[in-house]
Structure 1
Amino acid sequence: MDCPCCANLSYSNCCHPFHLNKEKPLTPEKLMRSRFSAYALHLIDYLIETTHPSQRHLYQKKEIENSAKSNVWLKLEICEAKKDIVEFKAFYQNGLKIFIHHERSVFKQENGIWYYLKG
């Protein structure tokens, strides 16, 4: 299976090891890609675990789950990735309409682990 993050790799050689917690993403871009794949595959716990602990209170598990499951996640385009910022476009379908979520996400590394901080 191709990885949902659109890195042109198989899922098993891309985001799957992160989702199984066998590896940690070494860059904010890889974390962003793994989070997009987690939305596409409805891996809600992974999305919560990869959000910085100081920000987790802002996200309710049920809301994340509803967003992940009510949309079909079509593709991810990385516009720019540098240091701790990743600008991306996430394409998704809700009903018959296609939407683009365009965001500049900020990531924070703590104890060698990257987390999503804010968008």
Structure 2
Amino acid sequence: MSDVTGAADGDRRCPCTSGLTFGECCGPVLGGRRRAPTAEALMRSRFTAFAVGDREYILDSWHPRTRPRRLAVDDAAQWYRLDVESSTGGTPFDTTGEVTFTARYRENGERKALRQRSRFERRDGRWVYVDGSAAD
């Protein structure tokens, strides 16, 4: 797991917009001190990883079957808001889940949004991202 110390202050609001602090929410997940208990929690932690530039966590939380060899991340994108619209399955008792969300970001001064339906799978007791498609 990567060290996100300095990437986000533990007392500041978590970038995933859960309303919790980074130290209460995604910080321990990104730091490897706690696993995401649900597919939605993993989605939030992955958004936060994009927001703080934690490429290692993004790749580590990706299913090995679908994980890219190299991660192409646009450093000009500043991720600032996550709106989770729905979640199906993905509880601590499920093995699969789907989360539909809109992630908002700024790129070169322009506001943009990515709306996606992401699929997750629990492997060896740990949620991982499988893939995503544009949500209608």
TM-score, with structure 2 as normaliser: 0.81
* Counterpart residue number, 2:14: 3
State the SS of the aligned residue for 1:81: strand
State the SS of the aligned residue for 2:111: strand
State the SS of the aligned residue for 1:2: coil
Pairing partner for 1:31 from 42, 45, 50: 42
* Counterpart residue number, 2:56: 45
State the SS of the aligned residue for 1:35: helix
| Percent of aligned pairs with the same amino acid | 30
1:53-92 → structure 2 map (5 Å cutoff): 53-56=64-67, 58=68, 60-61=70-71, 63-64=72-73, 67=74, 69-83=75-89, 84-92=97-105
* Structure-2 separation of matches of 1:8 and 1:96: 25
Call closer, same or farther: CA 1:2–1:89 in 2, change over 3 Å: same
Instruction: Give ranges in structure 1 of 5+ residues lacking alignment.
Output: none
The structure where helix makes up a greater share of residues is 1
* Counterpart residue number, 2:3: none
TM-score, with structure 1 as normaliser: 0.92
Instruction: Give ranges in structure 2 of 5+ residues lacking alignment.
Output: 1-11, 90-96
* Structure-2 separation of matches of 1:74 and 1:14: 16
State the SS of the aligned residue for 1:106: strand
Q: How far off is 1:60 after superposition?
A: 1.6
Number of matched pairs: 114
Structure 1 segments of 4+ aligned residues over 6 angstroms from their partners:
none
Does the alignment pair 1:20 with 2:14? no
